[in-house]
Structures are given as C-alpha cells and as structure tokens.
C-alpha cells in the first residue's frame, strides 16, 4: 500500500457557542491514498463539512477551533503551517468544491476573473495566457460558449453551470487532492450525472485523489473506492465500497443501507431507524448511536466503543464486536 497523501488523526474541531461547547468533529481519523476516491457519508450535522473545512484550515474562528489531533498532507503537518504556507496549498495542491456554490463565488467578479485569479496567483501566467487557460478549463467542464460565459457574472448562471465553474476553478491548478462537499446535492439528476462524470474523469485521467462528501448512498456506490461513515462527530465504520454495501458491520450503517428505497426491487415496507440524531455536547458518554440502536446493551450507554479492524481495511465502532471478540477467544 502506498503512503496516504492525506492523513487525519484524532481530529477534534469544536464550536464555542452560547449553548455551550459543541464537539462537531470528535476524534475523527481518516486517510486518503493518492489516486483514490474516498466517500464520507452520514446524517446532516454529523461533521462532514467541518472535517473537510478543517483540512483546509477554513473553520470560522470564533466560534470554531481545532482543539486536537493532526492533519498530514504529504508529510506536511497542516496544523503547524504558517497561514502564508497554507495559502500556497489551498486551491493549489488541495482544492475544494463547496456545498454552496454561491457562497464561494464572488458575485462582483466575472467567471473569468475568478478563475484567472486562482490561476495566475499560483502559476504566474500572463494575462493573455491566463485567459486562454481559463477558456480551456471552462470547456473541459462542459460549459457551452466558454468564450462568452467567461465574461458573465455568477448570478447569470444556472445552478449546474455555477457548480461547473466551481469545478473549473478547483481543477485549474491541477490539484493532487480534490475535496468535493456535496458537489451535486443541489442539482437535478441529469445534471448530477454530468458533474459526477467530470469528477470521475479527473480522477481517472489525472490521478487526482478525491474526498467525496455526500449523503447520497447511490453517489457513494457509484463513485468511491472506500467509504467512511460518520455519526455524531465520529467515524463509526470504514471500509471498501463492497465492505460497506455488502457486509456493513455497524448497526447504523446496516440501518442506513436498508433504509434507502431502491429502483431495482420492491419492498412493501422500508426499514427505518427510530428516533433522531443526538444533540452534541461535551459530556456525552457511551456509543452515540445507543438511543436508536436495535442491538443496544446496557454497556453501550457507558463505554465508548473503539474503532476496531475486523477484516483487512474494514473497521467498525461497536461494542457488539468486542463482545464477539471475547466470545471468540473463549
């Protein structure tokens, strides 16, 4: 196995609000290998976006703060870099597609100006070359009439077009890692198919590693090599796509996989996980999923299970596994 290009270890990102301290990311460990697509899935509010923003050190502070852990990108310790060095990485070696395209495109600048800025800042291209390169990028992401779109403003574009402009910006510097935070959630399926196709080609043709954040299990099954499932600020299961879909080990993952209706089969009733996600606070004990779990045992409320490797590359965080281990040993 090659060395991961991104390694997140025991990351803790908390928010300090009037309602107290919120452990939004509560000891997350993840890694992405060169050239691979890692999916990160989980319920709204489980900490997917905060994890990815932490990698780029874009957590709004206050109220947010990275209070623990380490993030290594190709042997560089991200959390120890100077802000100036960080700027050299952002939008260059690591780039990001944000969940909300409008919040990351500047409404006062044309499409061309924004991409050009990104390109010339990092590559030192001249004005003319930068424009040619920009038109090229726009064409690559399937934008029709790039020569005229380049002079339009973000609000003149449809959601799908804006998302493509974001992707053009994100790939214009040939990043080694692309973080895509729900890149297609706001889009229609036929447009989603175009964008996913684009990201897949980027991965296959340029070997760009991708961290793909989504709550759509269909997108995960289709795009990813490996998957990390998050719940309430923690990774509860991690494995290859086949592990997660064919042999899920954590009760939450199992419930999630069974909850989705499928087009190729008819079930009269969907499986459903009762209850809803807990409100995060720092005094939480035990398994975060205990309230909703079918297999809950008294110990689950007391003891936080470890993320245990049960087969090569397949880890799960559940006390059932530890019980089973003991039984196996006995």
Partner 1 sequence: MSEPLLQVEHLKKYYPIERKWFGKQGAVVKAVDDISFSVMQGETFGLVGESGCGKSTTGRALLRLIEPTGGQVRFDGTELTALSAKELRMKRRDMQIVFQDPFSSLDPRHTVQRILEEPLIVHGIGDRQERQRMIRELTDVVGLAQSHLQRYPHQFSGGQRQRIGIARALSLRPKLIVADEPVSALDVSIQSQVINLLQDLQEEFGLTYLFIAHDLSVVKHISDRIAVMYLGRIVEIAEKDKLYSAPRHPYTQALLSAVPEPDPDMRRARILLQGEVPSPADAPVGCAFHTRCPKVMDICRARRPELAETGEGHLAACHLYPDTLQEDERIHS
Q: Are 85 and 56 in contact (CB under 8 A)?
A: no
CB of 320 to ligand SF4, least distance (A): 5
Under the binding rule (CB under 5 A), the answer on residue 49 touching Mg ion is yes
DSSP letter at 277 equals P
Strand pairing class (226-231; 209-213) = unpaired
Applying CB under 6 A, which part among 109-117, 140-148, 153-161, 282-290 lies near ligand SF4? 282-290
Residues 301/304/310/312 CA torsion (nearest 10 deg): 150
CB nearer to Mg ion: pick between 49 and 184: 49
Under the binding rule (CB under 8 A), the answer on residue 218 touching partner 1 is yes
CB nearer to ligand ATP: pick between 37 and 50: 50
Size of the site for partner 1 (CB under 8 A): 47
Peptide bond into 152 cis (omega under 30): no
Q: Which does 17 bind (CB under 5 to 8 A by kind): ligand ATP, ligand SF4, Mg ion, none?
A: ligand ATP
Residue 302 phi/psi, 5° resolution?
Answer: -105, -40
Q: Are 87 and 21 in contact (CB under 8 A)?
A: no
3-state helix, strand, coil in the chain (%, to 5): 40, 25, 35
CB nearer to ligand SF4: pick between 55 and 232: 232
CB nearer to partner 1: pick between 257 and 310: 257
DSSP letter at 77 equals E
Q: Which does 289 bind (CB under 5 to 8 A by kind): ligand SF4, Mg ion, partner 1, none?
A: ligand SF4
Under the binding rule (CB under 6 A), the answer on residue 230 touching ligand SF4 is no
- Touching ligand SF4, residues 15-44 (CB under 6 A): none
Under the binding rule (CB under 6 A), the answer on residue 285 touching ligand SF4 is no
Q: Which of 13, 119, 3 is nearest to 56 (CA)?
A: 13
CB nearer to ligand ATP: pick between 86 and 277: 277
For 60, residues 6+ apart whose C-beta sits below 8 A from its C-beta are none
The residue within the footprint of partner 1, chosen from 168, 211, 219, 300 (CB under 8 A), is 219
User: Could you give the CA distance from residue 244 to residue 254 in angstroms, rounded to a whole number?
Assistant: 9
Q: Are 220 and 248 in contact (CB under 8 A)?
A: no
The residue within the footprint of ligand ATP, chosen from 50, 166, 210, 212 (CB under 6 A), is 50
Interacting residues toward partner 1 by CB under 8 A: 43-44, 144, 158, 160-161, 188-194, 196-197, 215-223, 241-242, 245-246, 255-257, 259-264, 266-267, 269-274, 276-277
Interacting residues toward Mg ion by CB under 5 A: 49
């Amino acid at each position: 196995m090659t060395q991961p290009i991104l390694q997140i270890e025991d990351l803790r990102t908390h928010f300090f609000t009037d309602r107290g301290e919120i452990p939004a990311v509560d000891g997350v460990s993840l890694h992405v290998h060169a050239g691979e697509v890692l999916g990160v899935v989980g319920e709204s509010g489980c900490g997917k976006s905060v994890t990815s923003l932490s990698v780029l050190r874009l957590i709004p502070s206050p109220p947010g703060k990275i209070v623990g852990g380490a993030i290594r990108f190709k042997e560089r310790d991200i959390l120890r870099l100077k802000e100036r060095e960080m700027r050299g990485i952002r939008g260059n070696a690591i780039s990001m597609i944000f969940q909300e395209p409008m919040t990351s495109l500047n409404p006062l600048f044309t499409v061309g100006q924004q991409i050009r800025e990104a390109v010339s800042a990092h590559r030192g291209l001249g004005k003319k070359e930068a424009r040619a390169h920009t038109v090229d990028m726009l064409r690559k992401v399937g934008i029709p009439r790039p020569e005229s779109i380049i002079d339009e403003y973000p609000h003149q574009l449809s959601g799908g077009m804006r998302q493509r402009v974001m992707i053009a910006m994100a790939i214009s510097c040939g990043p080694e890692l692309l973080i895509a935070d729900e890149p297609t959630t706001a889009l229609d399926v036929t447009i989603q198919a175009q964008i996913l196709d684009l990201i897949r080609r980027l991965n296959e043709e340029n070997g760009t590693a991708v961290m793909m954040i989504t709550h759509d299990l269909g997108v995960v099954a289709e795009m990813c090599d490996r998957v990390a499932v998050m719940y309430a600020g923690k990774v509860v299961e991690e494995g290859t796509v086949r592990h997660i879909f064919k042999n899920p080990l954590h009760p939450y993952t199992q419930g999630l996989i069974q909850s989705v209706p499928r087009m190729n089969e008819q079930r009269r009733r969907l499986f459903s996980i009762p209850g809803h996600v807990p409100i995060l606070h720092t005094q939480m004990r035990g398994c975060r999923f205990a309230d909703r779990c079918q297999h809950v045992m008294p110990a689950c409320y007391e003891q936080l299970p470890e993320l245990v490797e049960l087969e090569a590359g397949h880890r799960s965080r559940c006390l059932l596994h530890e019980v089973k281990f003991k039984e196996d040993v006995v």
